[in-house]
C-alpha cells in the first residue's frame, strides 16, 4: 500500500509547489479542498466536483458523528465508498462545530460534553473518541482534536487554551492508529500572540506529526493580523511536512498565505456563497441578485471554463436566483469552486516558473479593482 508522503517539486521564495501522496491517491499543492461537510459538496454531484480539478475533499467529524454516525459509515464501506469519492479525504476534528453549534458545552481536561444542535441528545467528544471516529470514517488525513480558542482572547485565556490543546495533541498521537497512506496532522494554536504560536509549534514538533495545520485564524482578527501570525509561525514549521491553514478563506487570503509558505486550504466560502448569490471572478466578487445583471449577456467570468460561464449569461443566473430556482445555486456553486481550483492551479504554475511575486502583484491589483460595472 502507498505510504503517506510529501514532496516539494519547486520553490519560489517561501512559496512551495508540492505533491502529497495518500492511500487513495495524490493531490497537488498549493491545494484548495472541496468542502463536503456531511459527506457531500452541497448542490454539486461528485463528478461535477472532480471536473473542477478538486482532488481532496473535507468532511466534518462533528456532523458525521451525529448522523449517520461513524459506525454506520464504517459498516457501509467508509467515506470513500459512502460518498462516491475515491480520492483523498481529510476529516476536520469537529472542535469548531462543537464550540459554535452545540448546546450546553462543558469543557474539561477530559474533553467536551455537549448537547446536539439537532435533537438535544448528549454526547462526549474526547481526543481518543475523535481519533476513533475519524478512523471509522476511513479518513486519509486525520486532524487532532483541539480547543477552538475564542476571539478575542486575553493572553491568559489563550495560553490556557493552547496548552490544553497541546496536551490533547499528545493523546491524539497516542490514540491514532498508523497505517500506510494515512496521516495525522497537529494543529498550531495561540490566538494572536506570537510567543504562544511559537510555543505551540515547538510542542507539536516534539510530539511529531505527518503534517502541521495552523488553526484559530480567520475568526475575526482581520487579514493583517492573520498574515502577521503566519509570518511568525510558518518559519518554525518543519520544511519537509505539508502545511495547512484551516478555514481560509478569501482568494486574497490564499494568495497571501501561499506567499508565506502554506500548502493546503479549506473554506466553506465558495460553496456557501454560491448558494446565496455571491460569485467570485478574477475582478473580485459580484452579487448576481443585483439588478445590474438583469440584462447582462456576458458570462460571470470570460476566462472561466465552468458550465455556468460557458453556457449561461449573467442575466439568466440573475433570473434563476430571483425566481429561487435550484439550478441557480448549483451553477454558481460550481463556478465558485472552479474559480478556487483555477486560482491554486495558477499559483502552482507561478511557483514552477519562479514568478510568484509578480503573479501575486497582478492578482491583488486586478482583484482590488472589482467587477466591471458597464455592460459591454
Q: Is residue 374 part of a domain?
A: no
H or E stretch at 255: helix 251-259
- Asked whether residue 149 falls in the same domain as residue 284, the answer is no
Mean predicted lDDT score pLDDT of the chain: 95
**What pLDDT is attached to residue 103?**
66
Catalytic residue, candidates 12, 92, 138, 263: 92
Q: Is residue 273 part of a domain?
A: no
Predicted TM-score of the model (pTM): 0.96
- Asked whether residue 263 falls in the same domain as residue 294, the answer is no
- Asked whether residue 241 falls in the same domain as residue 316, the answer is no
- Asked whether residue 73 falls in the same domain as residue 207, the answer is yes
- Asked whether residue 242 falls in the same domain as residue 106, the answer is yes
Q: Is residue 337 part of a domain?
A: yes
Q: Is residue 274 part of a domain?
A: no
**What pLDDT is attached to residue 369?**
87
* DSSP symbol at 236: G
- Asked whether residue 175 falls in the same domain as residue 46, the answer is yes
User: Which residues of the chain carry a pLDDT beneath 70?
Assistant: 94-104, 372-376
- Asked whether residue 212 falls in the same domain as residue 303, the answer is no
H or E stretch at 30: none
**What pLDDT is attached to residue 362?**
97
- Asked whether residue 296 falls in the same domain as residue 327, the answer is yes
**What pLDDT is attached to residue 259?**
98
**What pLDDT is attached to residue 102?**
63
Q: Is residue 292 part of a domain?
A: yes
For helices 251-259 and 223-233, give the axis angle rounded to 10 degrees.
Answer: 20
Domain of 260: which CATH number? 3.20.20.105
Q: Is residue 375 part of a domain?
A: no
- Asked whether residue 359 falls in the same domain as residue 287, the answer is yes
Q: Is residue 376 part of a domain?
A: no
**What pLDDT is attached to residue 376?**
45
End residue of a domain, out of 234, 267, 300: 267
**What pLDDT is attached to residue 141?**
98
**What pLDDT is attached to residue 100?**
67
- Asked whether residue 227 falls in the same domain as residue 88, the answer is yes
- Asked whether residue 240 falls in the same domain as residue 310, the answer is no
Annotation marks residue 92 as catalytic? yes
**What pLDDT is attached to residue 39?**
98
- The span from the CA of 137 to the CA of 177, in Å, is 13
For helices 356-369 and 327-353, give the axis angle rounded to 10 degrees.
Answer: 150
Supply the DSSP string of 114-174, one letter for each residue.
EE-TTT--EEEE-HHHHHHHHHHHT-SEEEPP-----SS--HHHHHHHHHHHHHHHHHHHH
**What pLDDT is attached to residue 140?**
98
Measured at the alpha carbon of residue 297, what is the angle toward residues 294 and 302, in degrees to the nearest 5? 120
User: 94: which 3 cell numbers?
Assistant: 469537529
Which residue in 287, 214, 226, 286 sits closest to 255, CA to CA?
A: 226
End residue of a domain, out of 214, 239, 267: 267
Give me the phi and psi of 141, to 5 degrees please. -125, 115
> What's the number of domains the chain is made of?
2
Catalytic residue, candidates 12, 210, 253, 266: 266
| DSSP bridge pairs for 91 | 59, 142
- Asked whether residue 158 falls in the same domain as residue 202, the answer is yes
**What pLDDT is attached to residue 176?**
98
Question: Can you give the residue range of the structural domain that contains 217?
Answer: 5-267
Q: Is residue 32 part of a domain?
A: yes
End residue of a domain, out of 267, 301, 328: 267
Amino acid at each position: 500500500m502507498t505510504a503517506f508522503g510529501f514532496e516539494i517539486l519547486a520553490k519560489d521564495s517561501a512559496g512551495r509547489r508540492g505533491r502529497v501522496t495518500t492511500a487513495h491517491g495524490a493531490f497537488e499543492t498549493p491545494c484548495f479542498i472541496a468542502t463536503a461537510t456531511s459527506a457531500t459538496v452541497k448542490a454539486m454531484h461528485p463528478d461535477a466536483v472532480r471536473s473542477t480539478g478538486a482532488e481532496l475533499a473535507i468532511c466534518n467529524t462533528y456532523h458525521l458523528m451525529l448522523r449517520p454516525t461513524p459506525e454506520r459509515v464504517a459498516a457501509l464501506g467508509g467515506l470513500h465508498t459512502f460518498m462516491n469519492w475515491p480520492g483523498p479525504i481529510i476529516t476536520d476534528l469537529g472542535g469548531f462545530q462543537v464550540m459554535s453549534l452545540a448546546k450546553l458545552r462543558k469543557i474539561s481536561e477530559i474533553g467536551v460534553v455537549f448537547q446536539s444542535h439537532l435533537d438535544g441528545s448528549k454526547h462526549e467528544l474526547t481526543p481518543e473518541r475523535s481519533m476513533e471516529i475519524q478512523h471509522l470514517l476511513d479518513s486519509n488525513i486525520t486532524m487532532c482534536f483541539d480547543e477552538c480558542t475564542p476571539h478575542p482572547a486575553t493572553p491568559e485565556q489563550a495560553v490556557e487554551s493552547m496548552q490544553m490543546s497541546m496536551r490533547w495533541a499528545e493523546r491524539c498521537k497516542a490514540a491514532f492508529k498508523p497505517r500506510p497512506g494515512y496521516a495525522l496532522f497537529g494543529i498550531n494554536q495561540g490566538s494572536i500572540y506570537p510567543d504562544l504560536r511559537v510555543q505551540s509549534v515547538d510542542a507539536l514538533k516534539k510530539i511529531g506529526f505527518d503534517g502541521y495545520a495552523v488553526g484559530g485564524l480567520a475568526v475575526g482578527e482581520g487579514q493583517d493580523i492573520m498574515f502577521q501570525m503566519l509570518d511568525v509561525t510558518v518559519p518554525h514549521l518543519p520544511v519537509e511536512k505539508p502545511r495547512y491553514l484551516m478555514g481560509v478563506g478569501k482568494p486574497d487570503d490564499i494568495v497571501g498565505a501561499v506567499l508565506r509558505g502554506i500548502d493546503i486550504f479549506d473554506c466553506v466560502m465558495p460553496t456557501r456563497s454560491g448558494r446565496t448569490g455571491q460569485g467570485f471572478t478574477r475582478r473580485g466578487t459580484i452579487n448576481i441578485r443585483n439588478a445590474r445583471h438583469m440584462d447582462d449577456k456576458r458570462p460571470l467570468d470570460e476566462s472561466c471554463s465552468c458550465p455556468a460561464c460557458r453556457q449561461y449569461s449573467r442575466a439568466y443566473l440573475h433570473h434563476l436566483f430571483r425566481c429561487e430556482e435550484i439550478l441557480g445555486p448549483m451553477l454558481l456553486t460550481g463556478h465558485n469552486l472552479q474559480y478556487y481550483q483555477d486560482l491554486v492551479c495558477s499559483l502552482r504554475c507561478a511557483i514552477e516558473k519562479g514568478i510568484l511575486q509578480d503573479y501575486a502583484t497582478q492578482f491583488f491589483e486586478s482583484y482590488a479593482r472589482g467587477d466591471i460595472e458597464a455592460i459591454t
